[in-house]
Amino acid sequence: MKIISKIEDKKIKSQNLLVETTFGEYLSFANDLIKNNEYQRLRVKSSKSIYSLLRTDLIVGCVIPSIVLALQDCPKIDSDEDLKSFFDKQRDKILILDGLQRTYTIIDAQNDIEQLDYDKKELFNNSKLRLEIYYNINRFGILYRMLTLNAGQTPMTARHQIEMLYRDYLGKTFDNIVLKSDIDGAAKAIDNEFVFKNVIDGVNSFVSNNESPMDRQDILDNISILENISQKGIIESDVFEDYLSTYSLLFSKVRELSNNYCINEDDKYLHELPDSVFGKSVADILSTSQSMTGFGAAVSKMIERKIISGFDDIKKSIDKISNPDDIEWLFEFLRNMEKIKSSSKKIGNSQRLYFKYIYRFLFNPECDSYCNLPESIKNAYDMYNNQA
C-alpha cells in the first residue's frame, strides 16, 4: 500500500489520501470491510449482468475506479507504515463510502480465478487498485460524502446510513440516556432509556427537515438532505450528540414539570380519557418516535427560518419553560391525541405533525406561547386541525 497524494477536503474538514494497492492486498481485508458495512444495502440483484461483465474484465487486468474508504477515529497518517498499521489493527473502523458492489465483484473474481493457472492468478493479484481514503473525518462528514458519492446509483436512504454510522452508540449511556434496541420492552423510559431506532428517527428528521417516517422516504430527498447539511453547517459538529443532549434536557425538564405524574383509572373517568392513552406519563410520551421526529423537524424548520441559530438556543429556552399551575395540560394533550387517532387517515404521521407544531410553538420566541407548555399544546392542536 503506497500513498500517492494527500489533499485536504475543506468542505468536510478532513484529509484525503490517494493510495495505490493491489487486488491481492485489498482482498486480504476486503471481507472484514464488508462485515463492517453490514448495515449497508445488500448485494444489488438487478445489475447482475453488469457486475458479471466487470468480474471477467478484472481477471484480464482492467482498471476500475477508486474505491473510497473512511477511517473512523483516525486523526493522523504520516506514512505508508501508519496506514498499513491502521489497516492491520483497526479494520473494524474502516467504512466503505463508495465501492461496496465493486468489492463484492473483486471477491467473486478471486473465487473465479481459483480454477485458473498460476500466471493468471499472479496477474490478477498484482493488478493495481486505487483507493481514496478519508481520515480525520467526523460522522456527518462521512454521511455527507456517502450521500454525494452514492447519488444517482442504487440508493440507500439517509436514515439507513445514519443508523449505520451511529450503531456503536447502541447500549451506551449518553447524557444520562441509555440507548437500547427496539426489541419490545427493552427500553424503559422511566429509567431514562430510549429506543435507539427512535433517536435515529429524530436525528434524521432534523437532517431532512421532515417529521414523516423515513424508511419510505423518497431517495431523491437525499439531495435536499445534502443541501440541509451543507447550509446548516452541521458537518463541523456532531449533530447526533447535539440532538440527543438537547432532547435529553427537554425530557428531564418536562418530566419535572409533570412531577412524573402517571395517569390512573380515575383520571380516565374524570378527564374523559380513553382506555388506551398515547402514554401514561411524560416519560412514555416523550420517548416515542413521534415526539422525537416532531422535535427534530421543528428545530430544523426554525433554523431554516433563522428563528433560532441552533440547538444551543433550544437548550436556553428549555430552562425558561414556565411551571404550569396544574397537570391539566397533560390531560388535554392526551385528549387531543385521541381525537387525532379517531380522525386521521394515517395516525402516526398526524401524531408527528402535532408534535412538530407543539415544539414550534414552545420554542419560537416570536410566538405568544413561547416556553408555555399548556398554550403550546392548545395552539398546536388548533393549527393541526386547520391543516387537516
Partner 1 sequence: MKQHINGTELIVEDSLENSKLILKIINNETGEIKASYYPLLSFRDSAYIQDIKNFEFHLFNNINCVENDIRILRINHQRIGWVFPIVSLESTEHSYAKDNNYLDFAYMSIVYLLCSLKTRNLEDNICLSTIFGDNTQIVALYKPWTNGIENFDFNNYSLSLLQYGYCEEGNIKTDSQIIVKIIELKSVSKNNEDVLRFSDLVLKKMYPLAVTEYDRFIILYQTIEILISKIFEVKFIELRCDLETTNDLHKYKEKIDDISKEKYRINLLFSNYSTVPIDYRDKLTNACNDFLHYNEFDNEESVQLALYKVRNRIVHSLYLLKSDYEVLLEKVNNRLLDAIVCIMITLNIH
Which conformational region is residue 176 in: left (phi greater than 0), alpha (psi within -120 to 50 degrees), or beta? left
Candidate list 130, 188, 339, 341; residue touching partner 1; CB under 8 A = 341
Provide the residue type at 62 as one letter.
Answer: C
49 interacts with partner 1 by CB under 8 A: no
The least CB distance from residue 105 to partner 1, in Å, is 20
Candidate list 260, 343, 385, 387; residue touching partner 1; CB under 8 A = 343
Residues 192-221 that bind partner 1 (CB under 8 A): 215-216
Candidate list 36, 40, 224, 344; residue touching partner 1; CB under 8 A = 344
Which conformational region is residue 352 in: left (phi greater than 0), alpha (psi within -120 to 50 degrees), or beta? alpha
Which of 213, 196, 197, 195 minimizes the C-alpha distance to 205? Answer: 213
Residue (93 or 335) nearer to partner 1, CB: 335
Q: How far is CA 225 from the centre of its chain?
A: 11
Which residues does residue 94 pair with via DSSP β-bridges, in sequence order?
A: 71
52 interacts with partner 1 by CB under 8 A: no
Label residues 224-233 b or e (16+ Cβ within 10 Å = b): ebbebbeebe
The least CB distance from residue 328 to partner 1, in Å, is 24
Select from 203-211, 296-304, 318-326, 338-346 the region that touches partner 1 (CB under 8 A): 338-346
What single DSSP character describes residue 262?
A: B
Report how far residue 182's alpha carbon sits from residue 187's, in angstroms, rounded to the nearest whole number. 8
The CA distances from residue 85 to 33, 70, 264, 329, in Å, are 15, 15, 60, 59
Which of 194, 198, 186, 187 minimizes the C-alpha distance to 159? Answer: 198
Candidate list 351, 364, 369, 376; residue touching partner 1; CB under 8 A = 351
Select from 29-37, 114-122, 298-306, 340-348 the region that touches partner 1 (CB under 8 A): 340-348
114 interacts with partner 1 by CB under 8 A: no
The least CB distance from residue 351 to partner 1, in Å, is 7
Report how far residue 154's alpha carbon sits from residue 150's, in angstroms, rounded to the nearest whole number. 8
Provide the residue type at 211 as one letter.
Answer: E
Select from 116-124, 225-233, 301-309, 341-349 the region that touches partner 1 (CB under 8 A): 341-349
Select from 79-87, 127-135, 186-194, 346-354 the region that touches partner 1 (CB under 8 A): 346-354
Select from 29-37, 227-235, 322-330, 344-352 the region that touches partner 1 (CB under 8 A): 344-352
The CA distances from residue 99 to 31, 143, 359, in Å, are 13, 15, 40
The least CB distance from residue 350 to partner 1, in Å, is 9
Which of 89, 93, 57, 59 minimizes the C-alpha distance to 73? Answer: 93
312 interacts with partner 1 by CB under 8 A: no
36 interacts with partner 1 by CB under 8 A: no
Candidate list 49, 111, 115, 276; residue touching partner 1; CB under 8 A = 276
Give the number of residues in contact with partner 1, rule: CB under 8 A.
Answer: 15
Select from 7-15, 100-108, 190-198, 335-343 the region that touches partner 1 (CB under 8 A): 335-343
183 interacts with partner 1 by CB under 8 A: yes
- Count how many Cα atoms sit within 13 Å of the Cα of residue 116 in the half-sphere of its side chain: 16
Count CB neighbours of 170 within 10 A.
Answer: 16
Backbone phi and psi for residue 34, each to the nearest 5 degrees, phi listed first: -65, -35
345 interacts with partner 1 by CB under 8 A: yes
185 interacts with partner 1 by CB under 8 A: no
- Count how many Cα atoms sit within 13 Å of the Cα of residue 171 in the half-sphere of its side chain: 2
Candidate list 49, 323, 342, 386; residue touching partner 1; CB under 8 A = 342
The least CB distance from residue 222 to partner 1, in Å, is 14
Candidate list 174, 348, 367, 383; residue touching partner 1; CB under 8 A = 348
Residue (139 or 159) nearer to partner 1, CB: 159
Chain residues that interact with partner 1, rule: CB under 8 A: 41, 183-184, 215-216, 276, 341-348, 351
